[in-house]
A and B are shown apart, each in its own frame.
Chain A
Amino acid sequence: MDENINIELLMGNEAMACGLIEAGCQVVAAYPGTPSTEILQAVADRHGEAREALHVEWSVNEKIAFEVALSASYTGKRSAAIMKQVGLNVAADPFMRSAYLGIKGGMLTIVADDPGPHSSQNEQDTRLFCLQGRVPVFDPASPAEAKELIPIALELGEKYEMLTVLRPATRICHSRQSIERTEITSMARRADFKRDPARWAATPAFLPRLHRELNSKLEAFAAEDVIQPRKIDGDGRYPRSAIVASGIVYSHLVDLLEELGLSGSIDLFQVVVPYPLNPAWIEQLKRDYTRIMVAEETYPVIEMQLCHPGAFGKHSGDIVKEGELTPDVLYIALSHFLSLPATAPAPEENRGQRPSLCPGCGHRSAFYSIKKVFPKGIFPSDIGCYTLGINLKAVDTVHCMGACISQGAGFYQSYVQDQKKDFPTVVVTIGDSTFFHSGITALINAVIQKARIIVVILDNAITAMTGGQPVPHMGINATGAETKAIPIEPLVKASGVEFLECCDPYDNQHFEELLRAADAHIRSPQGSVAVLIARHGCMMQPGVRQQQAHYAISISAACIACRRCVDAFECPALSMDSENGSAVVDQDRCIGCGACIPVCPVAAIKGE
């Protein structure tokens, strides 16, 4: 079994983490976001493998992660910043300028896209973002390839002093593959920042030159041998036709052609670097082929650059423009392109069970009370598990990280113009990690603009949605080492908030009293933003359940089948037995938290 010794079953995200460590990266920073989260998690878990010092951090947001990694590169060391696709929007400002100024030590930005989307607020394409930013982008077709491309991207980045991006899609991040580990590199670099204000602090006077240099470097980069499209020759069955694909879509095509007995029947190109494309290759395609199918996720980035008159793709209208290019969707496209028999139309998609807040989640108790106290309130919310408050009808808007407080303020300003004192109560809900990410600036803005809104910080002391990353008030860092804890309350007070209360939302009665007091405050003559912290640990965290009371939950014959516990409280362990006209408890899913007991109007939910 010796030949097996370096083979590990790795998730794509773990494979990329290994790639970063093997390539000698010394500063790696990220903010969690599906599907990218496990990359930094794995770097932290494996940081002991590194041959040199390795700083790993969960930054407070993506912009900060990018800037931390950027300066590490300025000192000549290798670094990486990791985020999901919408995280790059947060980091867009430093990212766009970095294209012009460049880097020193190799700096890789890994941006995980989510075609579908499966767990995101849109399905934007990082490759298009890179085209706009003029940053070379690598598009891996498998977890193994994602790892293999990391040293190539870092080396080319160093050769041209250019930022590079690796764009894995969800199906790379969250796939597992047997992958070979390679030797861990020691770069033996000492931090050595060389002052060059004309570059690192470039004023507009210097930017035309930097822009010109960027454009000429892009041309040279595009011609590098190692990144040229890879070709599998066809046998001539489809003359003057070819397929061009990139990323995971290329792999789907390989399997699909094999399934159909068409492997090696048509010229097939894999584009490894969708931007910048080599102009010589674009010309070659125009010369050698009359028809070209271009298969890529999510936007037609390669197709638009090719400008091929015989293109068959998303831009030409031949391939569906939105959603994931799954093997089933690709089959439809391929069958049109190659005149294969069409398959029967797919039956209506059944999405199955919708997700819910976990049994025992403190957010559920908070949302239940908010909706109960303010049945006509307006409820802006945000990105995290608590988006699922939508199931309890206590979430009206979800936009992007931190938007809820500013949106809440915008609702208030618009209504108060018309209704003076009779404005609707706006109750904003934001998680603790999101509050640190970009809620604080919005809170300061709401205070100085005198927005009379209630902000409920749902504090479960963890970044829960992405699987439990530390938050600044926990006092631990990515590798579990102790650091300074930054509590939420003083931040809220320092932002100018004069009404601040904290309570465990399991105590619905107390929490509802505080919500009413907060409403009285915002409507008082000197009223402004009121902040409530609803604090209850996350049920997914070890030890939280053990530290709270446990009940054996049952439903007594007193149940009047009013459905309140099922509809308004929406615990996945409770459902209606319509035959017997009673609510029932699924004992496999009930965790015995007892949070449903106060919800029943006839005290039919018993806890012992």
Chain B
Amino acid sequence: MKQQIIVSGIGGQGVLFLTRVIAQIAVNRNIPVLTSETHGMAQRGGTVLSCIKVGTFASPLIRKGQADLGLILWDANLDVHQGLLRPGGTIVINSQAHGRGIRLDAASMARNLGNAVLTNLVLLGAAVREDKIFCTRKDCEEAIRQLAPSRFVEQNIAAFHLGLEA
């Protein structure tokens, strides 16, 4: 099994947390995993990108036209990062507008749960619902429980379920 995933957003949206959740699922399933992340100044509200490579890879970076799945948390980033997707790759995007990919107003759903930053897990839920990511509902719930701060675990799981059932 090999899968290349990008997570795109802006600093403060929880791109790193979603990256860790997906990578942790691979670890839990005993699949090799590599990620690359954006740290530093860009985290102050600038465009950030994570690459996640699940399976036997050496490099943490994804080349243009190679990603199987893109989770886009910030609508305007589609133009910036869609070139990384392979032909036939899947985009799951937080957007209120019409356009390319599987679209859902994840930010509104997250806001209704009490925190817009949960957009990240709503999108993960949608990717599992569409069967476009290597992991299952149970895998995701397990990793979220491992990584979310204990007082936010149930809210995080709820956000994931919203995406799963949207």
Contacts and interface: CB of A to CB of B under 8 A. Distances in A.
Interface residues of A, number: 52
A567 interface: no
B30 A176 contact: no
A40 to B, nearest CB: 15
A331 B63 contact: yes
A467 B37 CA distance: 15
A353 B76 contact: yes
B58 A254 contact: yes
Interface string B52-63: 000001111111
Given A9-B24, A118-B42, A588-B107, A176 B37 contact: yes
A352 B48 CA distance: 9
25 contacts: A9-B24, A34-B41, A118-B38, A171-B36, A175-B37, A176-B35, A176-B60, A177-B33, A177-B34, A178-B27, A178-B33, A252-B59, A252-B61, A255-B59, A259-B63, A259-B66, A326-B63, A327-B62, A328-B64, A331-B63, A352-B47, A353-B10, A353-B74, A355-B43, A588-B111
Interface string A112-143: 00000011000000000000000000000110
B70 interface: no
Interface residues of B, number: 45
B44 interface: yes
* Centre residue among B37, B40, B77 by max chain A CB count within 10 A: B40
Given A174-B38, A176-B23, A328-B63, A355 B11 contact: yes
Contacts, number: 136
B165 interface: no
Interface string A325-367: 0111001000000000000001100111111111000000000
B83 A347 contact: yes
A142 B20 CA distance: 18
Contacts of B60: 171, 175-177, 248, 251
A358 B34 CA distance: 30
B35 A175 contact: yes
Interface of A: 1, 4, 7-9, 11, 34-35, 38, 118-119, 141-142, 171, 173-178, 248, 250-252, 254-256, 259, 326-328, 331, 346-347, 350-358, 385, 387-388, 465-467, 572, 588-589
Interface string B1-45: 000000000111000000110011011001011111111111111
A4 B28 CA distance: 9
Contacts of A4: 30
Contacts of B62: 327
* Centre residue among A9, A251, A328 by max chain B CB count within 10 A: A9
A388 B44 contact: yes
Given A9-B33, A178-B27, A353-B45, A34 B61 contact: no
B114 to A, nearest CB: 12
B116 interface: yes
Contacts of A350: 79-80
Nearest to B84: A328
Contacts of A466: 40
Contacts of B41: 34, 119, 355, 385, 387-388, 465
A119 B40 CA distance: 6
Nearest to A177: B34
A350 B55 CA distance: 30
Nearest to A4: B30
Contact of B45 (A1, A38, A178, A358): A358
Contact of B27 (A7, A35, A351, A352): A7
Nearest to B33: A178
A374 B40 CA distance: 30
B59 A9 contact: no
B138 to A, nearest CB: 15
B58 A142 contact: yes
B45 A356 contact: yes
A141 B61 CA distance: 12
A358 B33 CA distance: 32
